[in-house]
Amino acid sequence: MNIGVLTDIGKVREINEDNYCIVNEGLHLYMVADGMGGHNAGEVASLLAIQKIKEHMIKYISTEIVELDEEEVKGILFEAFNRANKEILSRGKEDGQCDGMGTTATLTLKVNDKLFIGHIGDSRAYLVRNNEIQQITQDHSLVAELVRRGSISEREAMKHPQKNVITRALGTDEQIKVDIFTKDLKPFDIIVLCTDGLSNFVDKYEIEKTVLEIDDCDECCRTLVSLANQRGGYDNITIIVIKNNSHDLESR
């Protein structure tokens, strides 16, 4: 698999509250997280989410992957998100500066020819197949609800004044609702994970065009981040591009 990644502070923010992980040994796990909160609490929340989910997945997936069926993998994913949620809530109670912090988290896990997706918040996962892009996650946000109801268009959503109001996140409630589902993974599929610092300024068709025209995944990431920054760079920007060039697995 050909993999590229880039995280960027953008043009306005003082710190980068996004985090990401790429695990390509033992299992194939890719994740982005976009933190929110006062001071540097957003950065803390997103880092905790990445660390706890990654730790749980490495512990329970990589050593037993051959023996696990689809529902068991989904159960492990759900528990990973819940452990991250509890850790973020606990840190918020211990440290006043972290009170109220939260984070999105969107991941893909490749198991043989199956793609498992875990998602909460408004970061996104896209799939490009047969030269067509589709957003395979649903934003958990106020504006996304308006789009789903047909009240506004996707274009209007990108400029909506309440586009940053999210309805689900890690660290905001004791009980969380996580989207966990699977898709078959095919040769030459392209997966794109990104935070809203990209998707708020670069639409899916521009993402599609970039990843189809540029072979190198790192260059894809640089091009798309540059485009978001040219349009203001008002938020942190993180993107992972994964090209499933064949059935053979290659380290990055």
Nearest partner of 185 among 240, 239, 129, judged by Cα: 129
pLDDT at site 35 = 97
pLDDT at site 245 = 79
What is the C-alpha to C-alpha distance for residues 136 and 156, in angstroms, rounded to an integer? 20
Domains of the chain: 2-243 (3.60.40.10)
Residue type at position 5? V
pLDDT at site 250 = 41
pLDDT at site 157 = 81
What is the C-alpha to C-alpha distance for residues 108 and 98, in angstroms, rounded to an integer? 28
Please enumerate in sequence order all residues whose Cβ is within 8 A of that of 241, keeping only pairs 6 or more positions apart, or say none.
3, 4, 5, 190, 191, 192, 211, 217, 220, 221
pLDDT at site 109 = 96
| pLDDT values of the chain reduced to their tens digit, one per residue, 252 residues | 899 999 999 999 999 999 999 999 888 999 999 999 766 799 999 999 999 999 999 999 865 555 778 999 999 999 999 999 999 999 999 998 899 999 999 999 998 889 999 999 999 999 999 999 999 999 999 888 888 888 888 878 877 878 778 999 999 999 999 999 999 999 999 999 999 999 999 999 999 999 999 999 999 999 999 999 999 999 999 999 999 975 444 433
> By the 8 A CB rule, do 146 and 157 touch?
yes
